Amino acid sequence: MSKKIIYPILKRFLYPQHLYRVIKLQWAKKKKIRAFDDAQLKLYSKLLPGDFLHYGYFEDANKKPEDMSLNDIYQAQENYGWQIVNLITETTQPALDIGCGMGGLIALMTQKGIKAVALTPDKNQAKHIREKYAETMLLECRFEDIKADNYNNYFGTVITSESLQYLKLDQALPIIDKILQSGGKWIVCDYFKIKEKEGKGGHNWELFTKKLVEKGFRITYQRDITPNVLPTIRYVDMLVTKIGFPIKDFIIEKLQVKAPGIHYALEGALPEIEAKIKKNTDKTDPVIFAANKRYMLLVIERK
**Model pLDDT for residues 254-303, shown as the tens digit of each residue:** 878 887 877 677 777 777 777 776 776 666 789 999 999 999 999 999 98
Contacts of 121 (CB under 8 A, 6+ apart): 33, 35, 36, 140, 141, 142, 145
Element (H, E) at 189: strand 180-193
Question: Tens-digit pLDDT profile for the chain (303 aa)?
Answer: 455 554 555 455 455 554 445 445 555 554 545 454 444 444 444 545 555 677 899 999 999 999 998 889 889 999 999 999 999 999 999 999 999 999 999 999 999 999 999 999 999 899 999 999 999 999 999 999 999 999 999 999 999 999 999 999 999 999 999 999 999 999 999 999 998 776 677 999 999 999 999 999 999 999 999 999 999 999 988 888 887 778 877 877 887 888 787 767 777 777 777 777 677 666 678 999 999 999 999 999 998
User: Edge-to-edge strand order for the sheet containing 116-119?
Assistant: 137-139, 116-119, 95-98, 155-161, 180-193, 293-302, 217-224
* Whole-number pLDDT of residue 284: 74
* Whole-number pLDDT of residue 13: 47
| First CA to last CA distance, the chain | 67
